[in-house]
Chains A and B, each alone.
Chain A
């Protein structure tokens, strides 16, 4: 049974979660809202998970819709210390190249990339 959180516990968990996030050399996020899934995001996710299974320093996770539903499946790759890059229209065939080039060697695949950087948040 997990301990119920207290105020201090919440703050500590927030810190821990951020540290854990920082702990990976690269993070790959597959956008898997209904729009992404209907465009084939599950196969893309599986392909990335397969590529990453022997690389403990690369984290593969899912998230919701990234906004541009007509260009799904979309994938975000972020190598620590570099801007994140959003890829669009990704298929399982393109996964190996994105993984090997960007995930492993930090060379973003320009022809699949939509944009880099962060969104404007108020």
Chain B
């Protein structure tokens, strides 16, 4: 009775799955996150058992160093080095913190991982704790992720009951426990020094580094802060050895990376690929290219508010830390937003600056005032008040903000402006000189009129207009009454022929 199997394509022939290779997400779709038994049945906690019973702190760190694992939160610092600094730091009390304060618009890697496989993250923390000599760990998780928090609480309770957390884990003499801490709801708390202050119960604001948290962190004790995905990779490296992990990816970026891809693509979702594959493979093959086949993809935004927009011409860029940084974007934590030619790049820059200006904690002047000034200037340009010299002003101010901001938020906030100017300068010029928005997104620059020669007289705009501002009759070009028009953009969305400008 099983002949119908013959008509179902194999996963390895389906575009979305064919180029993916799973390490951190290896249990996706098959593991019950509420069941620690299920996790243990899939080799769960075997790596922790190995690390606790037969490896020294030095051996664990050596293994992670050799694997080439780098922080998946965005900056890409060597995880092994971070652990080594902390292990070498003096002090009787040390902490391990999992940074699950995922705040980039369009990013959901950490959330999905925590919801699907919370024990993998806990196990990674146990191993890290042994490596650095920590007795207590914290998961700082976004309060906006109720399901992830619920799964984490359940997982921690189960692990405690089984004796996989707590005193004398697996009878090895090693004791370690984990506390879940819902975040304070500020983007800046994803920055490690701000996160630590928030965890201490204070207002989440960054402080200058050095001293780095590995030397002076939580309550001034040596602290390692690792991202969710980084920690989820650790058990597999310990279990399968560093050589196995280092087989993947180019020289300096080993392993795989998880991306949350969204935007105008066919398949929105969570993607894990080996480092070093071209961006085009993710966008075109895995995610199936543009959703609306009449439109073409224009840009890919990587790294959220700290990242940049890459034009289609750079889609051959391999996915690894150095190559992405060379383009002006950053690898970031893995958020990827794909845009087509109906997206205005000045508007995109304005959106991200609106976000960072809002989320700037206000402690240092360059970030607090600088992002506000950038935003003002971008608003001027999209509202039709742009003038010659604005682009140069944006570039100069951006450089000051990058050079003088206190933390990563300010140091990277101008990236969306700089990359959109770098790759889409003509769009800025069209806004400033011609007072035109080529993507027809910036409402103050639109005429709300109909090109008679482009209009196919179909009447769709007439039907879409909620205020009856469009006059149309069969076989007649539509006419918009600008006195009645509320500029709601319904007609732009309805017109299939691009005839309204």
Residue numbers of A with Cβ under 8 A of B are 2-7, 10, 13-14, 16-18, 20-21, 29, 31, 33-35, 37, 61-71, 74, 76, 82-83, 85-86, 105-110, 113-122
Please name all residues of chain B whose beta carbon is closer than 8 Å to the beta carbon of A109 when the two chains form the complex: 4
Please name all residues of chain B whose beta carbon is closer than 8 Å to the beta carbon of A4 when the two chains form the complex: 162-163, 168, 171
B32, A61: Cβ atoms under 8 Å?
Answer: yes
Please name all residues of chain B whose beta carbon is closer than 8 Å to the beta carbon of A67 when the two chains form the complex: 16-17, 20, 25, 28-29, 269-271
B41 lies within 8 A of chain A by Cβ: yes
Number of A-B contacts (CB under 8 A): 180
B112 lies within 8 A of chain A by Cβ: yes
A86, B11: Cβ atoms under 8 Å?
Answer: yes
A106, B2: Cβ atoms under 8 Å?
Answer: yes
B484 lies within 8 A of chain A by Cβ: no
Known: A6-B171, A7-B170, A65-B28. A122 touches B2 (CB 8 A): no
B92 lies within 8 A of chain A by Cβ: no
Complexed CA–CA distance, A81 and B268 (Å): 32
| Listed stretches B42-50, B297-305, B311-319, B373-381; interface member | B42-50
Please name all residues of chain A whose beta carbon is closer than 8 Å to the beta carbon of B247 when the two chains form the complex: 122
Please name all residues of chain A whose beta carbon is closer than 8 Å to the beta carbon of B102 when the two chains form the complex: none
B46, A116: Cβ atoms under 8 Å?
Answer: no
A71, B267: Cβ atoms under 8 Å?
Answer: yes
A107, B2: Cβ atoms under 8 Å?
Answer: yes
| B5 touches which of A7, A17, A108 (Cβ 8 Å) | A108
Q: Is the interface of A mostly helix, strand, loop or mixed?
A: mixed
Residue numbers of B with Cβ under 8 A of A are 1-2, 4-5, 7-14, 16-17, 20-23, 25-26, 28-35, 37-38, 40-41, 43-46, 49, 53, 108, 111-113, 115-117, 145, 147-148, 161-164, 168, 170-172, 244, 247-248, 256, 266-271, 274
Known: A63-B29, A66-B28, A68-B267. A7 touches B171 (CB 8 A): yes
Complexed CA–CA distance, A2 and B21 (Å): 37
How distant is A99 from chain B, measured CB to nearest CB, in Å?
15
Complexed CA–CA distance, A76 and B468 (Å): 49
A17, B37: Cβ atoms under 8 Å?
Answer: yes
A5, B164: Cβ atoms under 8 Å?
Answer: yes
Complexed CA–CA distance, A67 and B31 (Å): 13
B269, A68: Cβ atoms under 8 Å?
Answer: yes
A114, B14: Cβ atoms under 8 Å?
Answer: yes
Complexed CA–CA distance, A47 and B341 (Å): 42
A34, B164: Cβ atoms under 8 Å?
Answer: no
B163, A5: Cβ atoms under 8 Å?
Answer: yes
Given known contacts A16-B41, A64-B29, A66-B28, what 11 new A-B pairs fall within 8 Å (CB)?
A5-B162, A34-B112, A34-B115, A35-B108, A35-B112, A105-B1, A107-B1, A113-B8, A119-B11, A121-B22, A122-B247
| A7 touches which of B37, B49, B111, B267 (Cβ 8 Å) | B49
Please name all residues of chain B whose beta carbon is closer than 8 Å to the beta carbon of A110 when the two chains form the complex: 4, 7-8
Please name all residues of chain B whose beta carbon is closer than 8 Å to the beta carbon of A116 when the two chains form the complex: 5, 8-11
How distant is B256 from chain A, measured CB to nearest CB, in Å?
7
A120, B5: Cβ atoms under 8 Å?
Answer: no
A29, B164: Cβ atoms under 8 Å?
Answer: no
How distant is A67 from chain B, measured CB to nearest CB, in Å?
5
- 13 A-B pairs with CB atoms under 8 Å apart are A3-B163, A4-B168, A13-B37, A29-B29, A33-B112, A34-B115, A64-B115, A67-B271, A69-B270, A70-B266, A107-B2, A107-B4, A119-B20
